[in-house]
Copies of this chain bind each other. A is one copy, B any other.
């Protein structure tokens, strides 16, 4: 039985190359990601989560579109839009980066793939990175071409992911290092296979380069994965909050800079290349940023109550931040979440709470991650 309204399908939003398969496999919920329908769950959020944690799952994440940067100034351009030093990125390597606006605000947190010298993809979270890049490039300072290529990732995640990947692609996969990728073919379908994913455990992202072959590729993985109890699933909110992984749109927006979300290690203020946010991030670093991202434990008994909004966090009747994501953790058997708090709050006070349905609920700050997958 559905408790939520349905998602409306139409031509305004794109269907992924795997759409037909996801419907056939019983996808029950969708969201929209970069103007593409993206599955959210099949059996139930909790059942899908256990398949991820115990076995292996296949996700249609075609909504993680690619922005391709190619041309003489491609590396210069990528350096310009991120505070991370990408000069040491090798061909065949991935790097997690933040794209930052002039004032330091985060535009997106993609995975960068270096396909060749001066040929990159940004595998993006949900915001129009292409438009932002086109805006910047319109100044004529860069000799590059920008486009969204016809590329759609599948994600294979879970402790048995390598078993499935080896069966599909061969033993070489075992030697693929974390955050490296290789171009190749799966039964003549052109793909890029990266050892990466949003699960904090073993996993691969398979970038499909021929949009007409989505359903064939899906079937190859489902067939090969059967003996490993593969299940269709989607990025797991439960697992990613347990692992303290952030979601752009929920925990990060244009209003946060990398320091606000404790991502200092991806900021190289002294890197050689010119970058758009250097002045503002340098100033923020010097003066101190205003927010901090923390893990929180929400001290309420019921496990079936989902807190779906950015609820304010209070300290003594004063708003000192907000919950950005929360979920019930079946492994920890408690309600956990992420919160953005004001760094200028009374740090001695430990009486934080939120208000839900007129009830005051205590919250406790927790160390991140809440747990580590093996």
Chain A residues with CB under 8 Å of chain B are: 2-13, 15, 23, 27-32, 35, 40-41, 101-102, 107, 126-139, 141, 237, 247-250, 254, 276, 308-310, 323-326
**What are 22 A-B contacts with C-beta separation under 8 Å?**
A5-B23, A5-B27, A5-B29, A5-B30, A7-B7, A8-B30, A8-B41, A10-B237, A10-B250, A11-B308, A11-B310, A12-B126, A32-B32, A107-B131, A128-B128, A131-B135, A131-B254, A132-B132, A134-B135, A135-B135, A136-B136, A139-B139
Copy total for this chain: 2
Residues of B contacting A4 with CB < 8 Å?
6-9
Partner of A325, one of B11, B107, B250: B11
Decide: A250 and B29 in contact? CB cutoff 8 A. Answer: no
Partner of A131, one of B8, B128, B249: B128
In whole Å, how far is A242's beta carbon from the nearest beta carbon of chain B?
16
In whole Å, how far is A199's beta carbon from the nearest beta carbon of chain B?
17
Given contacts A12-B247, A132-B131, contact A138 B101 (CB under 8 A): yes
Closest to A127 in B: B128
Residues of B contacting A35 with CB < 8 Å?
126, 249
Decide: A11 and B309 in contact? CB cutoff 8 A. Answer: yes
Closest to A325 in B: B11
In whole Å, how far is A44's beta carbon from the nearest beta carbon of chain B?
12
Most buried by B among A6, A11, A127, A136: A11
Decide: A28 and B6 in contact? CB cutoff 8 A. Answer: yes
Residues of B contacting A107 with CB < 8 Å?
131, 134
5 smallest beta-carbon distances between A and B, as pairs: A135-B135, A128-B128, A4-B6, A131-B132, A8-B40
Residues of B contacting A27 with CB < 8 Å?
5
Decide: A12 and B249 in contact? CB cutoff 8 A. Answer: yes
Residues of B contacting A308 with CB < 8 Å?
9-11
Query: How distant is the Cα of A310 from the Cα of B35 in the complex, in angstroms?
Result: 14
In whole Å, how far is A321's beta carbon from the nearest beta carbon of chain B?
14
Partner of A29, one of B7, B132, B309: B7
Partner of A6, one of B7, B32, B141: B7
Query: How distant is the Cα of A28 from the Cα of B6 in the complex, in angstroms?
Result: 6
Given contacts A15-B309, A128-B127, contact A6 B31 (CB under 8 A): no
Decide: B138 and A102 in contact? CB cutoff 8 A. Answer: yes
Query: How distant is the Cα of A128 from the Cα of B12 in the complex, in angstroms?
Result: 15
Query: How distant is the Cα of A170 from the Cα of B370 in the complex, in angstroms?
Result: 57
Query: How distant is the Cα of A326 from the Cα of B27 in the complex, in angstroms?
Result: 25
Closest to A35 in B: B249
Query: How distant is the Cα of A102 from the Cα of B136 in the complex, in angstroms?
Result: 11
Query: How distant is the Cα of A307 from the Cα of B257 in the complex, in angstroms?
Result: 43
17 new A-B contacts, CB < 8 A, other than A12-B250, A101-B134, A136-B138, are A3-B6, A5-B23, A5-B29, A6-B28, A6-B29, A8-B30, A11-B308, A12-B31, A13-B31, A32-B32, A101-B138, A102-B134, A127-B128, A127-B131, A128-B128, A130-B254, A135-B135
Decide: B5 and A6 in contact? CB cutoff 8 A. Answer: yes
Residues of B contacting A131 with CB < 8 Å?
107, 127-129, 131-132, 135, 254
Given contacts A131-B128, A135-B136, A249-B13, contact A6 B8 (CB under 8 A): no
